[in-house]
Each structure stands twice: as structure tokens, then as C-alpha cells.
Chain A
């Protein structure tokens, strides 16, 4: 199930980044949990998350350096640096679009709900990573202008019991 979700996440991230942010993406195939600390270390990252509530509970986090997100936002909105709009809003919309693809392809319950994305803190992400009752999906994207980390945290009903 985790492999299916990882594949779906990669496909949706790739579609959103290439289709709406005009950014080709390569995935770091050898990225593991040990790499997370290096990614987070001493960096003032912009972090957003979205919750999908269906037969399982899935939280997806996205973390990125502000300067990388600025470049992506310029691509997304087509605005100049002087007219730069909200980079946090662009990151949340990226998660929203990727989440929508995953809802359709991974969840079966017609009651599945894609929540509204929100900005969160590094400690929220670290808390999620340390939760032993969830399966983690780690995806590091290499972009032309930097890196983007996605973390999926899947809580299955049988694990909750």
C-alpha cells in the first residue's frame, strides 16, 4: 500500500510541478529518513500540510526554501519579482492540487475529504515524522532552482486500534 501511495504521490507531484509550475523534477531515489535532518538543518523552510480523511488518514507535508518557492511562484503566476505574490499560497495550492490527484486514485470511500491546506511549523513536521503509528513516505524532488521535500504520513485504521 505504501509503495502504491509513493508512486501516486510521485506521479501527482510530477504532474503539478511540470504542468502548473513549469518545473521539471527528478526524484532522489536513495533519499531516506536519515536525510531529513540534513534537509531541515539550520534552514528557514516554508512548510505546508494538507490532510486527507478517508478510510485512512493521510497528512502530506511539503517543505522548501523560500528562495526556491519564489522561483516556483514566479513560474506559477507569471508575475515579475516586483509583483511577487504570496509564496505560501503557492505552496498550499501545489499541495492542494497534488492532494486532489491522490484522493481520486488512492482512497475508495466516497466520503473522503480533502481538507484545506495550511502553513505549519518545522516542529509539526518533526512531530509527524516521529509518530510511530504512521507509515512514512519520503520524496525529495530535485528542481532546477533547488529542492522540495514531501512527506506523506499515513495512519491506517488497523494501526490506530
Chain B
């Protein structure tokens, strides 16, 4: 299995850093990361880039995470990219809507680092770790 390309979409640059750091600490340290600050910019960045996993916030200016999923579903290629929503929202009706629109998973902020690893494994399967195993996962987080 080659390296994964993971796109992280959040209007908060510190939060994008935290998500990427957490994903790297979860065993994906050699993978490629692409960042975008809202849904519109994410769609632009996706042109010409194959994305294995898209991790997105919900509440963003210009185009939110739900609108991003809706736009992706209209495209034959983008609709096959799994989407993990990481958001402060935890109302059931909204989470149900994320899943109905095509999200592959949902994670609440604030999150525990191990939750991200678990969600990625649920979505992509065990095929993805690059050698950093779960036992040194916590030690890898140098917050």
C-alpha cells in the first residue's frame, strides 16, 4: 500500500495543525497532507490531486462541511473519497444529516487522539499504518 494523501479542511489553522499532528502520531507520519481553509478551497485543491481521505470541519465560511460533501457527491470521482467530519456540533439531527449526505464518519471536537486513529481505521481499514504501532501512539504525541 502506498502513502495516503489526506486533505484536512478547517478554517482554523491551529486546528488543522492539531489534526495533522494527531494523524501523524497515529501512525501516518509519512503520508501527504493537503490543507484547505473552507469547502470551496478544498474543491479547488482536489482538482488534479487524488485524495484518499478528506477530514473536514463543519462550520466554515463560504462553504461549510455539509455543502462540501454535497458538492463532492455530484462528481463521479470525488464522491468516492471517504469524508470524516470533525466538528463541535453534536446534535443528532445534524450528525444524521452528515451521514445521510455521504460522510463516512463523524468525530466530535474536542477529541482524544486515539479517537482519530480509531475512526480512520474504521473508514480505511487496517491497511494504512506506516509502522508506528498503537503501543507507541500515545508517546508519539508531544503536545
User: Residues of A with Cβ closer than 8 Å to B?
Assistant: 15-16, 19-20, 22, 73, 75-79, 85-86, 89-90, 92-93, 96-97, 99-101, 103-104, 110, 112, 114, 116
Contacts and interface: CB of A to CB of B under 8 A. Distances in A.
A77 B12 contact: no
Task: Say what secondary structure dominates the interface of chain A.
Answer: helix
Contacts of B142: 78
Given A76-B143, A78-B142, A96 B59 contact: yes
Given A15-B110, A75-B143, A110-B93, A96 B17 contact: no
B109 A92 contact: no
Task: Say what secondary structure dominates the interface of chain B.
Answer: loop
A116 B61 contact: yes
Given A19-B110, A103-B89, A110-B93, A77 B14 contact: yes
Contact of B12 (A96, A99, A110, A112): A96
A113 to B, nearest CB: 9
Given A78-B18, A90-B14, A114-B59, 18 more contacts: A19-B111, A22-B143, A77-B18, A77-B143, A79-B17, A89-B13, A89-B14, A92-B12, A93-B12, A93-B14, A96-B59, A96-B109, A97-B88, A97-B110, A99-B88, A100-B90, A100-B109, A114-B89
